[in-house]
Amino acid sequence: MIRVLSVASECAPLIKTGGLADVVGALPGALAPLDIEMRVLLPGYPTVLDAVGKKRTESKHKDLFGGPARVLAAKVGGLDLLIVDAPHLFARQGAPYAGPDGNDWPDNAERFAALCWTGADIAGGALEHWQPDILHCHDWQAGLAPLYLRDRHPGAPVGTVLTIHNIAFQGLAPADKLAALRLPPSGMQTDGFEYWDQISALKAGLVTADRITTVSPTYAGELMTPEFGMGLDGVLRQRRSDLSGILNGVDLDAWSPPYSKPAGKAKHRARLQKAMGLADGPGPLCVVVSRLTTQKGMDMLIEALPRLLDLGGQLAVLGAGATWLEEAFRARAEAHPGVSVRIGFDEDLARMMMAGGDAILVPSRFEPCGLTQLYGLRYGTVPVVAHTGGLADTVIPATPAGLRAGAATGLQFHPVNADALARAFDQLCALYSDRDLWLKIQKNAMRHPVGWDQSAKDYAALYSDLIKQP
């Protein structure tokens, strides 16, 4: 048995702003059959504390970054949680990173440093009955944990892994927070956690963790290039031999289509059109469930949209994000009966979209793994994706070779720009009108394995490699 402490700022279904939460929430269940016991350490946000019901106190109150804190334990829906109950840091309304006004909390650096501090202590043996063999940290919010572990518990027999879910978020803090974050001044240099005179929580993890993973093999390669590395490509090139890509999977219970054959989609398609106020049309009903940002290529979609509509296609969007993109989609919906948009975050509607859509669009400029194309595959909702990152690794494109081999599960476009997306709409509509071929692609998609089986084995192998003898 391998014991793993997973440290993260989000975990579905308790607290979620994106794919990170899905993955953190799914990993424990995916790894359990491989004799891996994973506990998840989360901040004690009000939503988490309210959702978990009965809690056990695992450690008594201690001072943590300026206020009393303790560790609680709770089990919920198959998840074995440890929770940092620190009201001065986490008992706040709003999203995990921002207040009700939409601005980031000014003390985010301290809040997530406290999460890391606690994680490092647990890895160092702070709990009476449980100590992990592996400390698995996710994204910048957990980036300081391997460093605190190394500095505060040297020699602890614990291997460390940092997983990059999105390198665009690096957890930068001004250098004058060094003391507040209890970091050693010696780390403020190029081979430490310094990043252009600031403190980078992500870089701290990148230079200290035993291994680094990201969520697809293609993104692992891309991260080492200036185009995708967001300033950290050099650091990652130096750690090339410790970096690997392990694809995300889908929680098959949480994402299970209410039909077993593509034909079962018809009534869900009609339901979705009704819910979104769309009439029926001759072309494919395309859906988008996404943050509305330029990373996700939403501006390119707006540019290429006229082509889809000219071809008789429809677009239903569920998302929230940049105000100008929200407004642009609203304006298109007002101007064209084939476009409908719902601004907000809605898990039920997301599932309705997957079940009712003909195609799901993921035109990201970069995409570490991407989950909605995986849900699309499972639901027979054909993914139309940019050729980048995990999208390139998970969708078998309907190229002449892919079609001849009878293997295609979706469409990829390249280069990643609006013209290429518009051309992908041409191909999409042509394929859609060939009913037999379309059905074949849908069936291929639904058969494509998107569960955790292979990736769970890859994580298990990684953990076993890192087991340290006390």
Residue-wise over 408-421: b if at least 16 C-beta within 10 A, else e? bbbbbbeebbbebb
Query: Smaller CB distance to ligand ADP: residue 32 or 320?
Result: 320
Q: Using an 8 Å Cβ cutoff, are 444 and 329 in contact? A: no
Peptide bond into 415 cis (omega under 30): yes
Q: How many residues does the chain have?
A: 470
For ligand ADP, the closer of residues 58 and 326 by Cβ is 326
- In the complex, the smallest distance separating the C-beta of residue 296 from ligand ADP, rounded to whole angstroms, is 7
Query: Given the complex with ligand ADP, which of 24 and 84 has the nearer CB atom?
Result: 24
Distance in Å, CB of 445 to ligand ADP, minimum: 17
DSSP state of 98: B
Which residues bind to ligand ADP, rule: CB under 6 A? Answer: 18-20, 22, 166, 289-291, 318-320, 345-347, 350, 369-372
Q: Residue-wise over 19-47: b if at least 16 C-beta within 10 A, else e?
A: bbbbbbbbbbbbbeebebbbbbbbbbbee
d(CA 123, CA 94): 30
Residue among 408, 360, 375 nearest 257 (CA): 375
Nearest to 386 by CA among 430, 355, 351, 418: 418
Nearer to ligand ADP, 201 or 316 (CB): 316
State the minimum distance, in angstroms, from the CB of residue 26 to ligand ADP.
Answer: 10
Instruction: Give the DSSP H/E element, type plus range, for residue 43.
Output: strand 36-43
Smaller CB separation from ligand ADP, 65 or 366 = 366
In this complex, which beta carbon is closest to ligand ADP, that of residue 83 or of residue 371? 371
329: closest CA among 359, 282, 375, 361?
361
Which residues are registered as beta bridge partners of 174?
198
CB of 320 to ligand ADP, least distance (A): 5
Q: Give least dist CB 83 to ligand ADP, A.
A: 22
Least distance to ligand ADP from the beta carbon of 168, Å? 9
State which amino acid sits at residue 381.
T
Residue placing its CB nearer to ligand ADP in the complex, 194 or 393: 393
CA distance 395 to 386: 10
Where do the H-state alpha helices sit in 212-322? 217-223, 233-238, 265-276, 298-310
* Least separation in angstroms between CB 164 and ligand ADP: 12
**Which residue number, 18 or 312, has a Cβ lying nearer to ligand ADP?**
18
Give CA torsion, residues 194, 146, 25, 460, to 10 deg: 120
**Looking at beta carbons only, is 119 or 370 nearer to ligand ADP?**
370
CB of 415 vs ligand ADP, minimal distance in Å: 21
Closest distance to ligand ADP from the beta carbon of 440 (Å): 26
